[in-house]
A and B are shown apart, each in its own frame.
Chain A
Amino acid sequence: MTRDPKQITERIIGLVAVCFLLLAPVLVSNYWVDVILTQMLIVGIAAASLIFLAAYGGMISLAQTALAGTAGFILGNLATVGGEGGESKGLSLGWDPTLSLVIAIVGTVLIGLFFGAIAARSTGIYFLMITLTFSVIGFYFVGQVTVISGFSGIGGINRYTPGFVGDMVNDRFRLYYIAFGVAVLVYAAIRFIVRTPFGLSLQGVRDEPVRMSSLGYAVPLHRTLAFGLAAFFAALSGVLLVWWQGQIAPGDVGLPATIDLLIVAVIGGLARIEGAWIGALAFILIGNYIRDSWLTQLLDDLHIGGSFNTIIGLIFLLIVIVSPDGLVGLWDRLWGRLRSGGDSDAPGAPVSPVGAVPREV
């Protein structure tokens, strides 16, 4: 299979992408590194946690944004020192940043396991609804409880980083490389996990829950553990996010943010992990360069009205209708067509959790 031209092409593209990302601070402008690429890596990690659950667990979770936010809120409450943050609320406990970091990640994983245990007995569309409900309740919780946040959120978190991480405020390239490292680790971890016995039985649970259950596998436990693992990845992304933007507010875990992450994952493609970063890049580029382009002008000219969000919605709609597997799915289908001369359903094409007609459980 190593001779497969598609695989070779993908390896080459991957290698070029990694080299480009490594050299990016030299190659492109600071704005590109700090805003577009760093954000792409961070959002991509969160999207990867969503795609991991979708592609290998058959669970589309809308709680990943909330989980990333949980890590951010815990870190913000523990690590910051009161008074200095000015307007910012929160407990401002001023704990040791390293300890706060560990607690933020472990706490998020525990909360993820708890949520996962509640939601694990449902699948498909029910799972999506339940995780969405968790996420929205989380949003109202941090908004209502002024002790830990309130609607203004917590600021100045990036000034309290652990020593081994270093200065995030002035040295933006450092943050970029850390995000890059974490992204590579998350990608490698997911690729590794899905090959372990746990990953294989998780995929069995995805395809044939009833059969796996009668073979003696604990189906809800597999789903719960996968959810906890995804919560860990989401927590990493959440920590990086608060370091990147310096603050966290309920808006970061609200419904629009939740939907944005889903859009990222769907644009990239829910069938393969690579889609996470491809989708993130596409989404951020659209956000940065279409906002004031001829497209928004077109809305005005046609007297439709509306802003950037209408365009994002239309693009999202188009992608879901035309290629439910996103950009990666488009790429796979292109190769399938090349190989079999027009037959798009080539064997070996990854199964999309979106396009596939779900099996009755």
Chain B
Amino acid sequence: MSERIAQLDVRRRAPTVIVGLLVGFALLYIIVLATPSTDIGGNWRTTTFGSAIDDWQSFTRTLLNGLTFAALLFIVASGFSLIFGLMRVVNMAYGSLYLIGGYVAYEVQQKMTGSGFTIPGIEVSTWEWVLPAMVAAGVVGLIGLFVQQVFLSWNQGQELRQALITIAISVIIADQIIAHFNKGLASTVTWPGWSNRLVELPLLGVDYSLARLVMLFLGVAVGFALWVWLYRTRTGLVIRAGVDDLQMTSALGVNIKRTLALAFVVGSALAAFGGVVGASQGAVAPGQDGQWLLNSLVVVIIGGMGSLLGAAVGSLLYGLTFSFSAVYLPTIGDNCCTQYSIVFTFILLALVLAFRPQGLFGKFT
């Protein structure tokens, strides 16, 4: 009898052990096994930079790239998760809100600086970045409020219908962006001039872009602000109660409709703010709405819907996987394997879904 139980136990643990071994191997590969690329061919151990021990600086930069990307992911996905957690609305127009945020900030910054197509970074003051970001967040927050009040407030609970409605809105917005913002060209918001340089990090001895560190700081700041809001204020209390049981919260005499609208506005504003940061770091361009919808989805599927901690952990896992798989895959021949990095995003997702369908920090409803 006990043998039989032991057998079952082994069988149940086998997947966990295999996954553990694979993750362990991946870490071992990055830290020790990888060797820098040579001119002639290479083998399965050949990567662009080599292992963390061989090339500490590149490893640190990759790590920082992952962390800063995770910060941007968190800014965007936390709003998506907030909206979903409270209202069960999968806002498929979320990537469109991200795009509008980036484009509005671009237009405002162009107006403020009066410059032409590209602005030299040195000419942008902190204010000339912050104000466009605030305007973008405000405008998109209002758009979110409009969408929520007109299209989503009367069909609460019909999840699929709401998803379809937001899909229709995303189709319209995508087309309208091309018609109205900068002829639908890729547009860049310029970081404030002071951040446009490399700083040498103490202890690590690595030069790194200050702007990306600002991005990391913004992500942490947004996370902290959300935490204070959700866990230290009365509104946050109501929202967390609503995430657990919307009807019961409403029955307790809370004006839940106002809370829902507020959460939708904040969620939309976060998408827009993420769009501004994303447009500053790279650019916004039509078609990125799908990409950022995907990013938000991946983060909340990994982390669990409606959980702030889940969004943070999901962002970190996705950001690091994305960053490391793009650099630390073997480069045999000219361009082998690093092009398969997208597969790792899928593997991460599949693993989480296989072990915890509700996400790492999600609850079953």
Contacts and interface: CB of A to CB of B under 8 A. Distances in A.
A129 B301 contact: yes
Interface in A316-361: 316-317, 320-321, 324, 353-358, 360-361
A18 interface: no
Contacts of B174: 309
A215 B157 CA distance: 28
Interface in B290-340: 290-291, 293-294, 297-298, 301, 305, 335, 339-340
Contacts of B350: 118
A320 B297 contact: no
B248 interface: no
A144 B159 CA distance: 33
B365 A133 contact: no
B165 interface: yes
B353 to A, nearest CB: 5
Interface stretch (B47-55, B66-74, B106-114, B175-183): B175-183
B139 interface: no
Contact of A145 (B158, B178, B339, B353): B339
Interface string B331-363: 000010001111101100110011001000000
Q: How large is the interface on A (under 10, 10 to 19, 20 to 34, 35 or more residues)?
A: 35 or more
B330 to A, nearest CB: 15
Contacts of B335: 146
Contact of B339 (A124, A130, A146, A255): A146
A145 B179 CA distance: 32
Contact of B168 (A129, A144, A320): A320
Given A128-B90, A305-B180, A357-B157, A262 B167 contact: yes
Contacts of A60: 160
A195 interface: no
Interface residues of B, number: 46
Contacts of A221: none
B176 A305 contact: yes
Nearest to A144: B339
B175 A133 contact: no
Nearest to B167: A259
Given A136-B290, A255-B290, A317-B169, A262 B175 contact: no
B294 A313 contact: no
B160 A307 contact: no
Given A255-B290, A317-B165, A321-B165, A145 B175 contact: no
B340 A144 contact: yes
Given A136-B294, A306-B176, A130 B165 contact: no
Contacts of A140: 342
B354 A118 contact: yes
Contacts of A98: none
B164 A354 contact: yes
Contacts of B354: 118
B160 A133 contact: no
B165 A255 contact: no
B45 interface: no
A313 B342 contact: no
B158 A355 contact: yes
B171 interface: yes
Interface in B228-256: none
Nearest to B172: A313
A72 to B, nearest CB: 19
Nearest to A314: B172
A310 interface: yes
Contacts of B175: 306-310, 313
A296 to B, nearest CB: 11
A254 B291 CA distance: 10
A312 interface: yes
Contacts of A122: 353, 357
* Residue in B160, B165, B174, B353 whose Cβ sees the most chain A Cβ within 10 Å: B160
Interface string A118-137: 11011011101110111011
Contacts of B341: 144
A153 to B, nearest CB: 16
A140 B295 CA distance: 12
A266 B341 CA distance: 34
B161 interface: yes
A312 B290 CA distance: 18
B160 A125 contact: yes
Nearest to B176: A306
Contacts of A141: 342-343, 346
Interface string A275-307: 000000000000000000000000000001111
B163 interface: yes
Contacts of B342: 137, 140-141, 144
A316 B166 CA distance: 10
Contacts of A324: 158, 161, 164
A147 B293 CA distance: 27
A8 B357 CA distance: 46
Nearest to B362: A126
A240 B364 CA distance: 41
Contact of A254 (B176, B179, B290, B349): B290
B19 to A, nearest CB: 14
A320 to B, nearest CB: 5
B88 interface: yes
A227 to B, nearest CB: 14
Contacts of B164: 262, 266, 316, 320, 324, 354
A4 B342 CA distance: 54
A279 to B, nearest CB: 13
Contacts of B357: 121-122, 126
16 contacts: A129-B297, A130-B353, A132-B293, A133-B349, A141-B342, A144-B341, A144-B342, A306-B175, A306-B179, A307-B179, A310-B175, A313-B168, A316-B167, A320-B168, A357-B157, A361-B365
Interface of A: 60, 118-119, 121-122, 124-126, 128-130, 132-134, 136-137, 140-141, 144-147, 254-256, 259, 262-263, 266, 304-310, 312-314, 316-317, 320-321, 324, 353-358, 360-361
Given A305-B176, A320-B165, A356-B158, 13 more contacts: A124-B160, A125-B163, A134-B346, A136-B291, A136-B293, A256-B290, A259-B171, A263-B167, A312-B171, A316-B164, A317-B169, A324-B161, A357-B158
Interface of B: 88, 90, 151, 157-161, 163-165, 167-172, 174-176, 178-180, 289-291, 293-294, 297-298, 301, 305, 335, 339-343, 345-346, 349-350, 353-354, 357, 365
